[in-house]
Each structure stands twice: as structure tokens, then as C-alpha cells.
Amino acid sequence: MRTRVLHHFSEDPAIERFVPHVPTTNPSHPPAVWAIDGAHAPVYWFPRDCPRVTVWTDTAAELPAFQSCFTTTASRLHAIEHTWLARMQRVELYRYDLPADSFAPWPDADGQWISTESVVPLAVAAVGDVIDLHARASIELRIVPSLWPLRDVVVAGPWPFSIVRMLNAQAR
């Protein structure tokens, strides 16, 4: 079943049309408009350039091993480096709702969708305090000196994950 509304998160509250573009982080990709489904949207509750590691469980059966591995009671864990905390505290982030009609799943990442056509948003809304947003969603948000140790554990593990903007992380 197709998702009816997809999302895009931005610090710009005035985007009238999303136009396909080649992402600077993936210059070999054809021009596209990028969106995320609601289930995976928390991956983007951050300032745009903020490096982050996110990991979660998909089933209740995975939860005990996940909680033991990450020493948490949560089913989802997000981490940023402490140098990004001030930006997290003051970011003004907006969620755009996009019609799913022209989008197709992007096979390289769960929950990601792309369109080769321009897309006019259906609505835009401020998301508010992103740290509070994490808390209300029962997502553990960790502030760490370096993302690399957690990244290595996440990549080696069996759980779904997303690792974003690691080029902006502290050096290994």
C-alpha cells in the first residue's frame, strides 16, 4: 500500500516548490526530490548538517537484545556529538507534507522516497523543540563526544539504522 503523505524537513519555512536536484553528498545520483515516510521521519528531527547515528527495532522480539546492547529502555536511539547540542537546542525546523503521487521508494534506504518531478507541498508546520519531540516520541537522544564508536556498533548489528552527515562528525 502506498503512503499518501510524505515529509521533508527543513530549516527554511518558505519553500513553495521542491525541484529535483543532485545531492552534493551523492553527485552521481540523478536529480530528485527527496522525502521520508512518517515511520522514518525521526531520522530528520535535527539541524540539516548535524551528523547523527540512529538505530531502532522493528519488532518486539528484537527489543530485549537491542536494549541490552545499547543499555537503554527505549526502542529507538539517536545520538549526536556534544558540539551540536547548542544547535539542536535552538534549531527552527519545519515539516513539509508532500503528496506521494509522484514518489517511488528509494531502494538504498528504508523509508526514503524520491520523485523526478517538481513537488508543491500540501502544508508546512513548525515542529517545535526537537529535543522535546524526541522525548515525546520515547526516543533516547544521546549526546556523545564522538559518534564513531556507536556508528561501528550500529553498522555491525542486526537492527535498522540511519547514519547521516558523518562527514561533519569529529575525526575518528
pLDDT tens across 105-141, in order? 998 888 999 999 999 999 999 999 999 999 999 999 9
Average pLDDT, the chain: 95
Percent of the chain with pLDDT over 70: 98
| Number of domains the chain is built from | 1
pLDDT at 73: 97
Rounded CA-CA distance 105/142 in Å is 30
Which amino acid belongs to residue 75? S
The pLDDT score that the predictor gives to residue 1 is 40
- Contacts of 116 by beta carbon, 8 Å cutoff, 6+ apart: 20, 30, 31, 32, 33, 102
Predicted local confidence at residue 4, as pLDDT: 86
Q: What average pLDDT does range 17-36 have in this prediction?
A: 93
pLDDT of residue 87: 97
CA distance 119 to 34: 10
Q: CB under 8 Å to 46, separation ≥6 — which residues?
A: 52, 80, 84, 88, 91, 93, 130, 164
Q: What are the angstrom distances between the C-alpha of 115 and each of 17, 95, 98, 103, 156? A: 13, 18, 11, 4, 31
Instruction: Say if CB 46 and CB 142 are below 8 A apart.
Output: no
Listed in sequence order, the DSSP H helices in the chain are 63-70, 85-90, 130-136, 148-156
Interatomic CA distance for residues 117 and 98, integer angstroms: 12
What is the mean predicted confidence (pLDDT) over 36-41? 96
Confidence band, pLDDT 50/70/90 cuts, at residue 2: low
Q: Write down the pLDDT at residue 110.
A: 87
Q: What is the pLDDT of residue 25?
A: 81
Domain of residue 66, residue span: 5-168
According to DSSP, residue 108 is labeled T
Q: Give the pLDDT confidence of 63-105 residue by residue, as tens digits.
A: 999 999 999 999 999 999 999 999 999 999 999 999 999 999 9
Calpha distance 102→117 (Å, rounded): 7
SS3 21: strand
pTM for this prediction: 0.93
Position 14 scores a pLDDT of 98
Place of cell 547515528: 53
